[in-house]
Amino acid sequence: MRCKEESDVYTPWTAKHKPRKLAEVVGNQAAIQKLEKWIKSWEKAIPKKRAAFLYGPPGVGKTVSVEALANELNLELVEKNASDYRTADAVQRFAGMASQYTTLSGKKRLILLDEMDGITGTADKGGVRIITEIIKTSRSPLVLIANNAYDPRFSTLRSYCLLIKFEKPTFYEVLRRLKEICQKEGIQAEADALKLIAKKDKGDIRSAVNDLQALAQGKKKLTYQDVAWLADRDRKDVIFNVLKTVFYSKNCLDAKRAVDAADMDLDMLFEWIYENAPHHLKDPHELAEGMDALAMADLYRGRIRSTLNWKFMRYVIDFMTAGITVSKEGPARGWTPFQFPERIKWLSKTRKNRKMRSLIGLKIGKKCHLSSSAAIREVLPFLRIIFESNAEMSAGLADWFDLDDSMVAYLAGSQGS
Amino acid sequence: MSYEMWTEKYRPKSLNDMADQVEIVKRLKSFVEAKNVPHCIFAGPPGTGKTTAALCLAHDLYGAGYREHLMELNASDERGINVVRETVKTFARTRAIGEIPFKLLILDEADNMTGDAQQALRRTMERFTETARFILIANYSGKIIEPIQSRCAPFRFTYLPREHLIGRLKYVVQKENVSVGDDGFEAILEVSEGDLRKAINALQAAASMGKTISSETVYSVVGRASPADVRGMITLAMKGNFVGAREKLREMILKYGVAGSDIIRQVHIEVFRSQIPEKWKIKIAEVIGETDFRLTEGADEEVQLSALLAKLTEAGHEMQRGK
C-alpha cells in the first residue's frame, strides 16, 4: 500500500478506486465477457473482426473495462482519445504504426481509440475513414469507444467491428460499489444516504463516485442529511423561486402557475411549503389559515389514495399554493431564508426504528390477538419497561414472542432511541 | 421458569371461565348448545372481553382443536379489499370437516376496514353463509356499514364493573405471587380506564420492577409507558411557539410511535381541563372533531394535527389580546 495515497485529497476517487481487474468492474458482465472472449481469440489467430466497438451512455465503465482487461491479460495499452488529433495523418502515425509492430518488451499490444464521438468532420478530417482502413489490416486488437455507435459517420466503420453494447449498471450494482468505496475509505455511511446518491445518478457510476467523494471525503460518517442537500442542489433555485411566489405573490393564479413552472415532485414541494409556512406566516391568524389550507391539501391527497382518482390533484395544488397565498394578509416583514424540510430528515433518522417497531408489533399482535398498530400502542410501551427492568422476565418473554436479538436490543435500549 | 404476557396467560379459555359480560356469555352459550352461530358484531370499548368471547366461543364450539376451524384476521393489518376477496373467500368457501358444518372467521378491528372492503365483505358473508360465520369485532359498531350490521346479531360489550376488575387483578396477583398495596390497585384502576388489558399489562410491567407495587410504582410505569407529552405540546402552542409544538408532535409520532388518534384524544381531554375561555373551548372542540374525522379518513397525522396546533396558537394569541 502506498501510504501517501491516503492523504492525497486531490486524487479523484474514480481513479483511486478504479477497478484493476475485470471482476471488479460494476455491471455489464455479458458485455465484458464478450470483450474478453474476443481479445483471447487473438491468441490463436487474427479474428474476422479486428476491432471491437464499445458503445453506451457516459460513465458506465467502457474505458475502465478495457483498462482492466489490458491489466489482467498483461497487454500494453496504447491509447488515444478526443483530446488528441484525429486527422488522417495523425491517426495513421499513431494507430497505423502501433497496429503493425510488436512492442519492444514483447508484450502484446491493445490499441484503444476512446471518445470516438469527439471526431469532428472538419478538424479530424478523414479520421474515421483512415481508422476503417487501419482496422482492415491491423495485426493488433483495436478497441473503439463511443456513446453512440449508430452515428451515420460510423456506418462503414461499424461493419468491420464487433459491436459490444454497454448498459447502465443497476441501482443495486451502483449501490454496492459505493458501499465498497466507503469501506475502503473508512467511512460509515447510512444506507439511505448511499441509496440517494445511487438513485440520483441513475446508473452513471463515474458521477456517483464523484458525488460520493464530494460529500464524504474527509468525513468519518455520511448521513442522509449530507446527501439530501446534494439531491436538491440543482433544484435549490427552482424550489426557492416557487416558495417565494407561493408565500409572497399577490394572487392565486401566480402561485398555481409557479408549481407548473417548477415541474417538481408535488409531495416534495408540499414538504417544503409545510416546513417553511410557520417561518413566513408569522401572524397567528395567518398561520392558522395557512396550516388549515395545507391540511386541506393533505386531505385531498388522502382522497386520491383512497379513490385512486387523480383528478383530485388539482385541489391539492389549489390548497397548497393559492391557499397559502391568500392566508397572508399583511405585507412581508423581514426576510427569513427558506430551509430544507426537517420532517424529511426526521423520517430518515427514525426509519430504522419505525421498521423495527412494526416488526415487533407483528410479533406481539400474533400472540396477543391484536393488530400490529394496536400492539405498538398498547403493549409495546409496557414491554419496554419490562425489558429495561427485569432480565429474567425479558428473556422468557423474548422466547415466548420469538423475538430476535435486534428486537431485544431495541426493547432494552432507552426509549425511542 | 417460563414467561408469557399475563394478558394471554390469564385469558379465559372457555365461556364457562368468563366472569363478565354475563348476558352476552349466556347467549353465546346458547349458540354452542344449538351448534349454530349467526354472523355477529361484538362492539364495545377496548379491554372488555370482545376478542376473548370470540375465542372462547370457538373453543367451546369445536373443542380443543378449535384453531383448525378458525381464522383470525386483523382488519387493521390486512384491511385491503383484496384481503377480503382472496383470503377471506378462500377460507370461507371450503367446507368444514367435522360435526359443525361451518367455520368461524374472526375479523378484529373491523371498524378500521375501508368502505370498499366492507362492501366486498358483505357479498362474501352472504354467499358463504353455509360454510362460514363471521364475528366482526369493533370499538364502534357505527363505523360498520348498515348492510353488514343488518346481517349480524349485535352484541354490545360494556365497561367492566370496578369490583370485577379488582377481582381479576387480585386473581393474577395471587397466581403470580406479587405483592400489591391497596393504593397500588387503586392506581391501576385509575390509569387503566376500565380497560382490563391495559390494567394487566400495567400490573405486569410494575411487577417486573420487583418490589411491592405501590401507587407510585404504577404512576411511574404508566408515565414511562406514555411518552406523549400532550400537555407540554399544547402549552407551547398556546404560548405562540408553534414550531416548538410541531417538533414535539413530530417526536411523539416518529420517535415514540404514538398514534395520532391517541394524541387527539388526549388533546381533547386537556383542552377541556385547561384555562382556555369557555367560548374558545367549543370552537376548538369543533376543530378537534374535524381533525379526528380526517385521521380516520387516512390523512397525514402530523399535517392534520399541526393545523390543530396552529389553531391553538391563534387561540392563545387572541386570549392574550383579551378577545
Say yes or no to pLDDT of A416 above 50: no
At A235 the three-state DSSP class reads coil
Structural domains of chain B sorted by starting position, each given as residue range(s) with its CATH number in brackets: 6-156 (3.40.50.300), 162-225 (1.10.8.60), 230-320 (1.20.272.10)
Closest residue by Cα to residue B201 from B20, B8, B1: B8
For the segment A289-302, the average pLDDT, to the nearest whole number, is 94
- What is residue A97's predicted lDDT score, i.e. its pLDDT? 66
Q: Is the ipTM of this complex over 0.90?
A: no
User: Residues of A373-382 as b/e, b for ≥16 C-beta within 10 angstroms?
Assistant: bbbbbbbbbb
Say yes or no to pLDDT of A101 above 90: no
Burial zone of B265 (CB within 10 Å; 0-12 exposed, 13-18 middle, 19+ buried): middle
- In one-letter notation, the amino acid at residue B272 is F
Split chain B (323 residues) into runs of 10 and give each run's mean pLDDT: 86 92 93 92 93 96 89 74 72 76 89 79 83 91 87 92 91 93 90 90 92 88 78 92 95 85 88 84 92 86 96 90 70
Q: What is the dihedral of CA A199, A205, A211, A217, to 10 degrees?
A: 120
Say yes or no to pLDDT of A229 above 70: no
DSSP assignment of A285-310: HHHHHHHHHHHHHHHHHHHHHHH--G
Q: Which residue has the higher pLDDT, A317 or B76?
A: A317
- What is residue B286's predicted lDDT score, i.e. its pLDDT? 93
Q: Which of A298, A306, A381 lies closest to B303 in CB terms? A: A298
Task: Give me the helix-helix angle, B278-296 and A284-307, nearest 10°.
Answer: 20
B199: which chain A residues are within 8 Å (Cβ-Cβ)? none
- The model's confidence at residue A93, banded by pLDDT at 50, 70 and 90, is low
Q: Which of B224, B306, B318 lies closest to A385 in CB terms? A: B224
Q: Which of B1, B114, B259 lies closest to A377 in CB terms? A: B259
Q: Do A390 and B209 touch (CB under 8 A)?
A: yes
Closest residue by Cα to residue A396 from B175, B300, B8, B276: B8
A141 contacts: CB under 8 Å, gap ≥ 6:
A38, A39, A42, A50, A51, A52, A109, A110, A111
- What is residue B51's predicted lDDT score, i.e. its pLDDT? 95
- The model's confidence at residue A125, banded by pLDDT at 50, 70 and 90, is low
- What is residue A90's predicted lDDT score, i.e. its pLDDT? 66
C-alpha–C-alpha distance, residues B296 and B310, integer Å: 20
Say yes or no to pLDDT of A7 above 50: no
Share the mean pLDDT of chain A.
83
Q: What is the dihedral of CA A275, A280, A281, A287, to 10 degrees?
A: 10
Say yes or no to pLDDT of A105 above 70: no
Q: Chain B within 8 Å of A10 (Cβ-Cβ)?
A: no
B 188-207 residues with CB < 8 A to A: 197-198, 201-202, 204-205
- What is residue B239's predicted lDDT score, i.e. its pLDDT? 92
C-alpha–C-alpha distance, residues A247 and A8, integer Å: 46
Nearest CA in chain B to A283: B314
- What is residue A153's predicted lDDT score, i.e. its pLDDT? 82
- What is residue B302's predicted lDDT score, i.e. its pLDDT? 96
- What is residue B125's predicted lDDT score, i.e. its pLDDT? 84
